[in-house]
Amino acid sequence: MVGKVKILTPVLELKKISKVVGGEKVLNCIDLVVEHGTLVVVRGRSGVGKTTLARIASLLLRPDSGRVLFRDRDVTDEGDGLWSRVRLRYIGYIDQFFMLIPTITVIENVELPLALLGVEKGVQRRKALELLNELGLESKAYRYPSELSGGERQRVAIARALAKNPLLIVGDEPLSNLDEETSRIILNIFKRTARERGTGILLTTTDLHYEFNADKDLVLLNGKLMKHTCSTSHRDVVEHG
């Protein structure tokens, strides 16, 4: 007898999402689905709304209209308490400005989400050291963020997002401060995380040409999402889910 195949619901669905920022509609009725085990890339020039999209996807910002579904549950109208609990347990967010805590060490920054989840201290330290080693930062573990370069701080922020094995990772331009070789290493880590752990990954980037080999490769333009192609133009705009 052939066993039943378990079909996972998407980790995140954004349905008809719109958002006005500074009097401008930066997101206009957007549909986006992030499946478990997939990498989704959203490209776009600075100021087009990528950060707004990333923050809505991370449950850090509420849309003006539309629905936000996390693991098939409509959380759009849920309270801030539930949004905070979902973020803490299930979402790893990588801010383009790092958002590291300056008064604690690198390794303590990486351990922080595990500490908030009540993970035993020894497990916190072991996991953080493993990630810092994988990202080439083991020698910086006990330094403070102010002692690191921008690229190093970006890698610490990535390690922190990975530490709790989230169901969804959202990176707002997480490769922007990294050299080409480090970007390749980080991208491979993201892809391996998606493949091995079933994590859904959503990354934004200003790079319109780099080959990410993503499962979905999209461009945000004039408040809409469209497929990324070598000849992308305004007339290529299509809704995506």
Whole-number pLDDT of residue 2: 47
Question: Tokens 């996390």 identify what position?
Answer: 70
Q: Which CATH superfamily is domain 12-236 in?
A: P-loop containing nucleotide triphosphate hydrolases (3.40.50.300)
**190-216, pLDDT tens digit by residue?**
999 999 999 999 999 999 999 999 999
The span from the CA of 212 to the CA of 40, in Å, is 9
**216-239, pLDDT tens digit by residue?**
999 999 999 999 986 554 344 344
Whole-number pLDDT of residue 31: 98
The β-bridge partners of 220 are 225
Q: Is 235 exposed, middle or buried (0-12, 13-18, 19+ CB in 10 A)?
A: exposed
Whole-number pLDDT of residue 236: 44
List, for the chain, all residue ranges whose pLDDT scores fall below the cut of 50: 1-5, 233-241
Whole-number pLDDT of residue 237: 39
User: Sign of the C-alpha dihedral, residues 4, 69, 82, 120?
Assistant: positive
- Global confidence as pTM: 0.91
The β-bridge partners of 203 are 41, 171
What are the sequence ranges of the domains in the chain? 12-236
Residue 40 corresponds to which tokens in the numbers above?
């989704």
Which residues 6+ apart lie within 8 Å of 118 measured at CB?
none
CB atoms inside a 10 Å sphere around CB 16 = 14
Whole-number pLDDT of residue 7: 57
